[in-house]
Structure 1
Amino acid sequence: MNVAELIEKYFELNDEERLRFQILESLYLFWNDQINVISRKDTDQLYERHVLHSLGIANFIQFQPGTKVLDIGTGGGFPGIPLAIMFPDVQFTLVDSIGKKIKVVNAVKDELGLENVTAHHQRAEKVKGKFDFVVSRAVTKLKPQWSWINKKISAESFNILPNGFIGLKGGDLTDEVEEMHLDVEEVPLSEFFEESFFETKKIVYVAKP
């Protein structure tokens, strides 16, 4: 199954989106040879384990135009880059504490012409401004992550879901959820994707109180 078939198995793409997703592999293979941003064993599974995984968020919520999204600990640009391709009218700010990873993100977004992406070498807790949603892929446990970002989430919502945090995580989250003392919604990604990789993967959503 080629790239377009894998993603279009679950999403409708226009020509520009399809082209951008197809280009991703060559970009990441090039940069990964210079700066290791993706596990070597995962490069053959880039579209399933990184791109489609990131797009699980697009199955959970369709961001409205004008939404501001902060991606913390983005690494090489996940989930921010795939989401930015899917939502061209949404503004994405990608941050990571490791400068060389942000170098890759900037190179990828420039090559793809993603004008809705800005990337910064910065720790999550140092980011200024307000955002409608904060997203991440398994950066750390929920409680410390929430402490870094909850004050950065705008109080006024205009999407179908209240503003909040949307994370991609895996495994048993019982202890992490109990520590939060907030309502945490868990959605198995196997509800969206049939590939075996997603059997233990989840979306977690915490609305701003």
Structure 2
Amino acid sequence: MNNYIENLNWRYATKKFNPEKEVSDENLEILLDSIRLSASSYGLQPYEVIVIKDPEVKDKLKSSAFGQPQITDSSYLLVFAYRIDIDQAYLDKFIENNSKTRNKPIKEFDGLKEMIQNSVLTFSQEMKEVWASRQAYIAIGNLLSAAAELKIDTCPMEGFNPDEFDELLHLESKNLKSIALTTIGYRSENDGLQNEKKVRKSKEELFTRI
């Protein structure tokens, strides 16, 4: 655990990546697994992640992210997008996956199905979208921690135009809306932020112990 905390202290939101140094395929798959295994409400995972390596696509998206160099200089750009179609069909598919994965009759999941029907499926569309986007942020947190363990740099980003990203990536046709980005790669030696002390609240300020 000491190493884990040390690695969290090592990581920071990298502003300048080294475009010559690429994340290996093996490490990319580990990072994607960290996203896939993230916690989410009921395990519904109401989001998808678009993994972009193609330099031409990244270059097109860069102008919709205010020209930030992380978009093109990092090895990969990950676009987190939440689903807007959290409905009965989505729930039925989720229950089928539970049944298949755990090799149990689908009837055994009637209680879980009813619980979700009486909670998430009763939300307004606006509430569903807020709820779904929050789940995506949990996955981003998992990704940042996993990357730090591998000494891979990341930069979570909200500074982009979601509507333009959605159009360029044809997300509407997939019932998706982009909510946040994360770039992954390796820091440039010219990124001065890597030498700055991490600024965080003290434990006394942050935690209330009862």
Q: TM-score, normalised by structure 2?
A: 0.23
Q: TM-score, normalised by structure 1?
A: 0.24
Look at both structures and tell me which one has the larger radius of gyration over its CA atoms: 2
Question: Which is helix-richer, 1 or 2?
Answer: 2
Question: Which is strand-richer, 1 or 2?
Answer: 1
